[in-house]
Chains A and B, each alone.
Chain A
C-alpha cells in the first residue's frame, strides 16, 4: 500500500529565515506530487505540482519554490519567510489526473 510522509509536523520560524519541508511517497512509482497551503479558515491553495522528476509547475507567484530531486521526493523551500507564509502545508500525491489525491499529515508552520 502507498504511504506519504511529511516532516516536520510543526515548525516555528522567525521572519526572514529559510524553510525546507520534505515529502516522500512510498509504494508507488511516478506519482503526481502537489504542495498545498491551508490558511486558518480557508480552502486549500495549490502552490506547486509536479508530474515527473525535475518538472515543477507553479500556481501562485510568491517567495516559495519547489523541487523534485527524486521520483518520490518533493521539497518545498523558501529563502526568506514572511509572516504571511504561516499556515498548514500539505503534500499530496495522485496517479494520473483522476482527481483523487492522497494527502500527507501536513506541517503546521508559524512564522513569528
Chain B
C-alpha cells in the first residue's frame, strides 16, 4: 500500500465552481500535513499546511480527519489560474522526510 494516495483526476470544472478532493495516508502516527501545488513542468510550491482543526487560506480550505486518515482540499470560486496538480504531502515522523502523493490534476475551464 502506498504511503500517500490520491485520486489522479483530472477534475475538470468551470470557472466559479467549487472543487474538492481527498488524499489518504497509511501511517496513523503521521505528524504533519501539507498541500503543495505543481504547475505543468514546474517545481512544487507549498500551498498550505493542514492543521488539526482545519484551516482556510482565501478560497482554499483544508481539512484533516485523523480517524479516517485523510486530508482534503476544497477550492471555492475556481479561477483559470487554479489549474494545476495538487500534491498531498505527509510527514510521518516530524523529521526531515516528506512523503508525496502522485497528485490530483485540476483543470478549470472558461
Contacts and interface: CB of A to CB of B under 8 A. Distances in A.
Interface stretch (B41-49, B54-62, B70-78): B41-49
Contact of A101 (B31, B42, B46, B101): B46
A99 B51 CA distance: 13
Interface residues on A, range: 20 to 34
Contacts of B97: 46, 49, 59
Nearest to B44: A103
A41 interface: yes
B25 interface: no
Contacts, number: 51
A105 interface: yes
A104 to B, nearest CB: 6
A49 B96 contact: yes
Counting contact residues on chain B (CB < 8 A from A), the size range is 20 to 34
Contacts of B96: 32, 34, 49, 51, 94, 97
A108 B101 CA distance: 20
* Most chain A C-beta atoms within 10 Å of own C-beta, residue among B4, B41, B102: B102
A102 B101 CA distance: 17
B34 A99 contact: yes
Interface string B12-33: 0000000000000000000110
Interface of A: 32, 34, 41-44, 46, 49, 51, 59, 88, 90, 94, 97-106, 108
